[in-house]
A = this chain, B = another copy of it.
Amino acid sequence: VSATETSGVVTLLSDFGSEDPFVGVMKGVILTGAPLARLIDVTHAVPPQDVELAGFFLSASFAWFPRGSVHLAVVDPGVGSERKALAVRASGHYFLAPDNGLLSRVLETDAGFEARAIDSERLGLGVPSRTFHGRDVFAPTAARLVSGAVRFEALGALSTPLRNAPGPAPSSDSGRIVAVDHFGNLISDLRLESGETRALAVEIGGRRARVVGTYADGGAGECIALVSSFGTLEIAVRDGNAARLLALGRGAPIRLLRGGSP
């Protein structure tokens, strides 16, 4: 793993919502230490303490940002306990997150990742509060890293991240729903081999859905499957809300049917 120059971009992902001033405060801390940083929200609407969904969103989005970006992700039920604060370099990007498994999917993208336990004392961060490490640990660390004031290797000692078993790994034929998007589409963790979309269908919730190329290929109200914006198969209903129509959500199993017949 060699050094990666920072891009000047810091992304933010959390379960803080947008009603309170918490996200703004983190940005204020970053700009105080790194006045030229570019701050981009990924989302702050992760359901409270949903570490798994945060990890899925992060792993699906980071690579679209410039190489060398710093990705700050705070879903942190264990804030104030003994859990470590992590800094990770993987796949040409930097990640700052609590050591609670949030980064598991990111680590899978790069076997040569390097992880360090953020050393608040060494970085001169002062004594953090016990309730808001996004502001007191992760934001000032992001500022030091993105501005070049501190090199990644100097953020703390090498550390072995906690990795969550993300449930049964998807096989080539079966997986599960890992997210429901804003349009009610059911996003699975099932990947298709490239060019494999013909004569395929999926089974979900006792129904059969054709694999098609895009939404417009479905009939009105038809339940269809297609490659989602996350790169995995999703279940959609043309001009409708699949999650509501099928009464399904995260965890629901999905199975690929080859040859086009059930």
Query: Which residues of A pack against B, CB within 8 Å?
Result: 7-9, 11, 13, 15-25, 27-29, 31-32, 35, 38-45, 48-49, 57, 60-61, 64-66, 69, 77-81, 129-132, 135, 179, 181-183, 213-217, 226-229, 239
Measured between beta carbons, the chain B residues less than 8 angstroms from A49 are 239
A80 and B214 contact, CB distance less than 8 A: yes
B131 and A229 contact, CB distance less than 8 A: yes
A57 to B20 Cα, complex, angstroms: 8
Also in contact, A130 and B39, with CB within 8 A (given A24-B61, A80-B214, A182-B20) = no
**How many copies of this kind of chain does the complex include?**
3
Tell me, rounded to whole Å, the shortest Cβ–Cβ distance linking A167 to chain B: 21
Tell me, rounded to whole Å, the shortest Cβ–Cβ distance linking A9 to chain B: 6
Tell me, rounded to whole Å, the shortest Cβ–Cβ distance linking A51 to chain B: 13
Which of B24, B57, B227 is A43 in contact with, Cβ under 8 Å?
Answer: B24
> 19 other contacts beyond A11-B24, A130-B226, A132-B229, with CB at 8 A cut-off?
A7-B35, A18-B18, A20-B43, A21-B57, A21-B60, A22-B181, A23-B41, A24-B41, A28-B40, A28-B61, A35-B66, A39-B40, A64-B135, A79-B214, A79-B216, A129-B227, A130-B213, A130-B214, A131-B227
